[in-house]
Every structure is written in structure tokens, then in C-alpha cells.
Amino acid sequence: MSVHAPILAIAVPLLGGFAVPLLARLHRKVRDLWVLLVVLFVGVCVGYVAAHVFTQGIWVYVLGAKNPQETLAPGGFPIRIMLTVDAMSAFMGLIAGFIALVAFPFALKYIPEEEGKTLSLTLGILLLAGILGMAYTGDLFNFFVFLEVTSIAACGIIGFRTWTSRAPEAAFKSMLLFSVSGLFFLLGVALLYGEYGALNLAYVSAQIRGSVVDRLSLALFLAGLLMKAAAAPVHFWAPDAYGEAPAAKALLLVVNTQVSLYGLWRVLFTLYGGLSDAGVGWLVVSLGLLTMVVAALMALVQTDLGRLVAYGAVSQIGYMMLGVGVGLVALSGRPDYGFVAMQGGVFHMLNDALTVGLLFLCVGAVEWAKGTRDLRALGGLGHGLPEVALAFLLASLALAGIPPLNGFASKILIYEGSFRLSPILTAIAVLCSILLLAVFARAFQGAFLGPRGEVEGKIPWVFLLSIGLLVVGILVLGLVPGFFVEEIVTPAAKALWQGRALYLAAVLGG
């Protein structure tokens, strides 16, 4: 395992997902145990890969060979499929692995058998495999393949509850945007393949000259990945998708959105390097601001608690884009503030996964107890669900960036870096956080305060376990962020900021 951990992290859930329906025919408990074992194994793999990369550097895993140099044809041309895991890839894998460990135990109890539990678990595991494939692959076409795996699995998760009126509509919207996104990305890959005759990311990056074809491919990559990442103005699929998916699986959909952002960072910083100039950076910054503003305003008018949280999740995409976009604008001169903003944007990916994930689990617990998420029919649930109420309040404050919680730790880095570029950027970001605080305060008041609300039965202990893990994560990352920033976030940000040469050397030698 120590030698093959990167490929096992992808192959085991990919094959294990297809085994779920077969094991369900034997016994439901066998199926559930298998799901937990697969997720636990993936968690161990991504943890081992991250530890190896953070301590020893980039891990290049070649399918069918022991090291990259054995696969290079004359002229340095790679002839085998490679997984290239640097600190940013390992960071993305850690997020996916941890969220899976939280989400699947919750899902095993949350999703009823009669509502397609086996199908939902199968799709969830396949989605996890696709996410890790996107994070670890060093090949452009394989990135597209895993992009499509995540799209198919995500659409199935969103729309499998066909007996509801809105789930098929949400799945259709997502499928439409995902199809266009995948087509754009594939066209970009095809243009680069026609230009350079290769698909290995490092090799193509070393050959790129900034021609018209190169820049057209960049535009296609930008369009496709921004669609999949739910950046405004093509964000409209995400609130429906997050809102209609089972609460536990919404966590994986959030990570799926983040790994699309990861793909965008990989294209801009590693594939194109310095050719992705300040103009592209300003585009990312502008769309980030637009995303956070539009999502925060739309959250104001929501009466469904799930959709309200979904718009809050979309707004956080804007903060990640702002932080990394500022770094992209400053890439040519590499001033200190650019790297600080990138640290904040990368750190916010982890904090967002924990915070939004906790909010969705709280929504799931509320729906379990009351059978509805309509704020007009809720109220007083804090009396019967005090643990859920406290967790929702904590996550709401973290989402708004209130100290000393984890959201503040990453947002303050984004604010600091973006202020040095333009104070207007920071002002807009802070105002959106204030607006979100007001929105979630209203939601907390509507759902949990007031006269005692009727609650049917107790919340299952596994719900509280998953919620508790995320609460601990939020508190630890907020109270002692320094360790995580120095040991995990900074190497991940450096892999983008100044790690292109190391990435190419690890694959191509020299």
C-alpha cells in the first residue's frame, strides 16, 4: 500500500462503488460495512499520500513503471499515464477524504431503504473516486475522464429521488451545465493535443508558447471549469443541486465544486504558468466578487432552510476565487500580499468544506426531526434539538467570518492580501460577510428560537457523531490556525505560487 497509495485511493472506491449493489443483495449490513470500509481505506490512503508529499515532495506515480524517467521516450516525451501529486493535490485529497469519513456514516442512517439507499451510496462512492482522480491525475485527458465521472455521479445523486417534483429539474439543470462544461474542457484538451501531440500536463506545460491556439484553449478551460465550480453568472444549478440532494451527499457535492476550482488553479498556475496574465487574474477576481454578492442577496429571500444554506455555500466560492485571483494578478512580480491572499483562498477551501458541511448536516437533522425544511413551518427546535441548534449557530458564525472561528482565520488572510491590491475588493467581501451573518441569524431565529417546537424522537447518535467531528474541526482550525497554515496550507499555496518548475522537473527530470 505504501507504494501504490495514490492509485489505490482512486481504484478502490471506483471498483468498490460497483460492488455495493451486489453486496446489498446479500445483506444490507454487509453493504453498509463495505461502504464504511471503503471510505475508511480511502481516508487512510489520502492521509498517507499527504504525509509523504508534505515531508518528501512531489509524488509521481507511473502506471506500469517504477519511476517517471523509465517512461520518457527520446526527447523527454512521457508515454505512460501518470498520477502527479504535489502539495495542492494532496491538500485537495485530504479535504475529500475527511468529508467522506463524515458524510457516509451520516448517510447510512439518514437515507431510508425505500428511497434508493443502495443507489445513493453507490453514486456517492463513485463521486468520491472521481474527485480524487481529478486531484491526483497528471494527464489532461484523464482529468476530463474523471471530470465526467463526477458529473454523472453528481447528477444521479441530485436527481435519483424522482418522486419529488424538484429533484429531476435540479438534475436536468446540473446535467446541462456539466455537459457544456465537459465539452468546453475536452475541446481545450483537443486543441492542445493537436498543437503539441501530447496529453501529459507537465510536458504540455513545458511546450506552451502562448500562441493563439494556446490562449483559445485557456479560454475554453476557464469557461468549462468556472461552470462546474458554480461561479456567477453560471451558478444557478448549484443551489438547486445542493438543496435537492440528500443532506449527507450535499457535502460531497460541495467538495465536487471545490475540486473543479482546484482544476482551474492547476490550469492557470501549472499548465499555463506566467502566460495566465493579470487580465485573467482580474477576471477571476471579478467573477469571485460577483459570485459572493449574488449568492448573498439570493440567500435573503429564501424560505427553505436547505436552499438558504446552498446559497451560503455558493457565496464562499467567491471568497476562494478572490483570494487565489489576487495571487494570480500578482503572479508576475510575486509580491508578499499575493501569496498571503492565496494562502487565504486555499485555506478557505478547507474551512468552507467543514463549515458548509456542518450546516448541511444540521439541515438534515432538522428535516429528520420535523419532516420539513420550510422556515415558515419551523420554530422552537432549540428546545428539543439543542446540539443541532448550537452546531448551526457555530457554523453560521464561522461562515460569516466571526472570530475566533475557522472562517475568520482564512478570510482575514484574503482581506489582508486583497486590501493591498485594492481596498474596494476587501470592502465588498466584508459587506457580503455581514449580509450573510444577518441572513443566517434570521434563519437561526426562525428555526430554533421561539416557543417549544414538536420533535418526533431523538436524533440518532451517528448524526451527533458526524456533527461533532465537524464542530471540533471548526473550533480547532479557528483557535489554533497557525499549525495548519504553516504545515498544510502554505505548502499547498506554494505548489501553485512557485511550484511549477518543481512539478515539471518531477515528471520530466532535470
Phi, psi (rounded to 5 degrees) for 216: -65, -40
Q: How sure is the predictor about 51, in pLDDT bands with cuts at 50, 70 and 90?
A: very high
Query: In angstroms, rounded to a whole number, what is the distance separating the alpha carbons of residues 254 and 399?
Result: 14
Amino acid occupying residue 338: G
Task: Return the pLDDT at 68.
Answer: 63
pLDDT tens figures, 306-331 = 899 999 999 999 999 999 999 999 88
R_g over Cα of the chain: 22
Q: How sure is the predictor about 373, in pLDDT bands with cuts at 50, 70 and 90?
A: confident
Query: In angstroms, rounded to a whole number, what is the distance separating the alpha carbons of residues 356 and 352?
Result: 6
Average pLDDT, stretch 38-58?
A: 94
pLDDT tens figures, 202-234 = 999 988 888 899 999 999 999 999 999 999 888
DSSP 3-state of 115: helix
pLDDT tens figures, 259-281 = 999 999 999 999 998 566 678 88
Average pLDDT, stretch 52-76?
A: 76
pLDDT at 160 > cutoff 80: no
All 3 cell numbers of residue 180?
457544456
Contact residues for 64 (Cβ-Cβ < 8 A; gap 6+): 71, 80, 81
Cβ atoms of 97 and 89 closer than 8 Å: no
* Greater model confidence, 93 or 450: 93
Average pLDDT, stretch 160-170?
A: 76
Q: How sure is the predictor about 456, in pLDDT bands with cuts at 50, 70 and 90?
A: low
Q: What is the mean pLDDT of the chain?
A: 89
Average pLDDT, stretch 91-115?
A: 91
* Greater model confidence, 161 or 319: 319
Task: Return the pLDDT at 428.
Answer: 95
Lowest mean pLDDT among 141-155, 269-283, 450-464: 450-464
pLDDT at 469 > cutoff 90: yes
Q: Following DSSP, what letter does each residue of 64-104 receive, concatenated? A: TSSSGGGGEETTTEE-S-EEEE-HHHHHHHHHHHHHHHHHH
Q: How sure is the predictor about 282, in pLDDT bands with cuts at 50, 70 and 90?
A: very high
Task: Return the pLDDT at 380.
Answer: 82
Which residues does residue 410 pair with via DSSP β-bridges, in sequence order? Answer: none
Query: In angstroms, rounded to a whole number, what is the distance separating the alpha carbons of residues 361 and 371?
Result: 14
Task: Return the pLDDT at 1.
Answer: 62
Task: Return the pLDDT at 189.
Answer: 95
pLDDT at 406 > cutoff 80: yes
Closest CA to 141 of 79, 176, 187: 187
pLDDT at 161 > cutoff 80: no
Which H or E run contains 154? Answer: helix 140-159
Question: For 61, which DSSP code?
Answer: E
pLDDT at 498 > cutoff 90: no
pLDDT at 193 > cutoff 90: yes
Q: Following DSSP, what letter does each residue of 116-139 receive, concatenated? A: THHHHHHHHHHHHHHHHHHHHB-B
Q: How sure is the predictor about 67, in pLDDT bands with cuts at 50, 70 and 90?
A: low
